């Protein structure tokens, strides 16, 4: 369907990823209602909103873990709704998970080797190992390559998840709360790394994050969800001044302070 790697890299008039009127409900609860967005080439987009707003649900719809009741999804201009998750990955849609889902009994290196698209059906050769180690090096994980992934500290596990997705050579990367559980210095390092990832691997990134400092510093464009509805979109500057957003967030703050 999406044949060449080049098709993922060259702007062709289509957004890298777009969704129209995306909706799903779970037994009467509208987890997501008519959400539409367009993520441009090598753009970093942010999906924010209070807990339970439907952000993770949106990712699960995009990667076909859930089937939308309504709506369309296009990757590089191609309709992908209903395509199995593994096809989506091969077509260039990589993701990470909010609750880390590593291959925890495999080594760090193996976690990356397994998603490499061109490694042969049989042995993973020398070249693949070298590429994998280079990638791990970028995430400061190369010296732990032979450790079990499950034994890594939390922050390193999050970085390994990103590395694993990147090993598949994606054109679009979905990051679900990449900074969750990281300490402030790890978080600011991650913010730099996300921008570096965009430049070095030429990917478009859509990220979910609660750390507003990271979001405002990294994202080019934001969509705000609340109770499954989009309540605002715009640049970080616009969003910070948006009264609906302030209300949604302050409302949440008051609740959590009680």
Partner 1 sequence: MNHLWRKKKFFLGGLFTLLLFVLMHSLIQSGLVSRHIQSLSVPVGLNMILALSLFLLVGMLGELSLGHAGFMSIGAYAGGLFSKAMVQVIPVWIRFPLALCVGALVAALLALLLSVPVFRLKGDYLAIVTLAFGEIVRSLVINLPFTGGAAGLKGIPKDTSFSFLYWIVVFTIWLTMWIYSSKIGLEWRAIRDNAIAAEACGIPVVSRKRTAFVVTASLAGVAGVLYSHHYSILTAEVFGFNRSIEVLVMVVLGGLESAIATAVSAFFLTIAPEMLRFLNQYRMLIYSLVLIIVMIGRNTQWEKPKWFQQRRENA
Ligand X SMILES: Nc1ncnc2c1ncn2[C@@H]1O[C@H](COP(=O)(O)OP(=O)(O)OP(=O)(O)O)[C@@H](O)[C@H]1O
Question: Binding string to ligand X for residues 56 to 95, with x set by CB under 6 A, is what?
Answer: xx--------------------------------------
- In the complex, the smallest distance separating the C-beta of residue 175 from partner 1, rounded to whole angstroms, is 13
What CA–CA distance (Å, rounded) separates 233 from 198? Answer: 21
Q: Is 55 in the site for ligand X (CB under 6 A)?
A: yes
- Which pair of structure tokens corresponds to residue 248? 């949604």
Contact between residue 208 and residue 63 where contact means Cβ atoms under 8 Å apart? no
Q: Which stretch binds ligand X (CB under 6 A): 37-45, 49-57, 87-95, 119-127?
A: 49-57
- Identify the CA nearest to 90 among candidates 192, 7, 29: 7
- Identify the CA nearest to 252 among candidates 15, 6, 50, 31: 50
- Identify the CA nearest to 15 among candidates 56, 45, 35: 45
What CA–CA distance (Å, rounded) separates 18 from 40? Answer: 9
Q: What element of type H or E holds 20?
A: strand 17-26
First-last CA distance in the chain: 52
- In the complex, the smallest distance separating the C-beta of residue 214 from ligand X, rounded to whole angstroms, is 14
- Smaller CB distance to Mg ion: residue 101 or 105? 101
- In the complex, the smallest distance separating the C-beta of residue 28 from partner 1, rounded to whole angstroms, is 23
Contacts within 8 Å (CB) and 24+ apart, 237-246: 239/48, 240/216
Q: Which stretch binds Mg ion (CB under 5 A): 96-104, 147-155, 191-199, 227-235?
A: 96-104
Q: Is 82 in the site for partner 1 (CB under 8 A)?
A: no
- Smaller CB distance to ligand X: residue 98 or 107? 98
Among 56, 60, 63, 187, binds Mg ion (CB under 5 A): 56
What CA–CA distance (Å, rounded) separates 143 from 194? Answer: 21
Q: Is 193 in the site for Mg ion (CB under 5 A)?
A: no
> Looking only at residues 59 through 78 of this chain, which bind partner 1 when binding is defined by CB under 8 A?
63, 65
Among 3, 13, 28, 51, binds ligand X (CB under 6 A): 51
Q: Is 84 in the site for partner 1 (CB under 8 A)?
A: yes
Contact between residue 133 and residue 145 where contact means Cβ atoms under 8 Å apart? yes
Q: Is 204 in the site for ligand X (CB under 6 A)?
A: no
Pairing status of strand 44-48 against strand 204-208: parallel
Question: Binding string to ligand X for residues 5 to 44, with x set by CB under 6 A, is what?
Answer: ---------------------x--x-x-------------
- Identify the CA nearest to 35 among candidates 206, 177, 252: 206
Binding site for partner 1 (CB under 8 A): 63, 65, 84-86, 88-90, 94-95, 97, 99-106, 110-111, 113-115, 117, 119-124, 126, 129, 148, 150-151, 154, 164-165, 168, 181
Binding site for Mg ion (CB under 5 A): 56, 98
């Amino acid at each position: 369907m999406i044949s060449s790697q080049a098709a993922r890299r060259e702007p062709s008039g289509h957004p890298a990823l777009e969704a129209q009127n995306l909706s799903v409900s779970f037994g009467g609860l509208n987890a997501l209602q008519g959400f539409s967005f367009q993520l441009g080439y090598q753009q970093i987009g942010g999906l924010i909103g209070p807990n339970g707003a439907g952000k993770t649900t949106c990712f699960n719809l995009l990667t076909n873990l859930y089937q939308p009741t309504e709506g369309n999804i296009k990757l590089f201009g191609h309709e992908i709704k209903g395509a199995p998750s593994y096809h989506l990955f091969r077509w260039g849609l990589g993701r990470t998970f909010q609750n880390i889902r590593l291959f925890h009994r495999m080594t760090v290196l193996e976690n990356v080797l397994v998603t490499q698209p061109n490694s042969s059906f049989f042995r993973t050769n020398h070249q693949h190992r070298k590429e994998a180690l280079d990638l791990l090096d970028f995430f400061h994980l190369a010296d732990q390559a032979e450790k079990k992934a499950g034994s890594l500290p939390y922050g390193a596990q999050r970085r390994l998840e990103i590395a694993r997705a990147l090993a598949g050579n994606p054109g679009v990367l979905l990051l679900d709360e990449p900074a969750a559980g990281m300490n402030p210095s790890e978080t600011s390092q991650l913010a730099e790394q996300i921008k570096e990832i965009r430049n070095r691997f030429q990917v478009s990134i859509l990220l979910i994050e609660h750390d507003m400092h990271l979001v405002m510093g990294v994202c080019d464009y934001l969509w705000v969800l609340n109770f499954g509805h989009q309540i605002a979109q715009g640049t970080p500057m616009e969003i910070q001044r948006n009264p609906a957003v302030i209300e949604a967030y302050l409302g949440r703050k008051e609740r959590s302070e009680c």
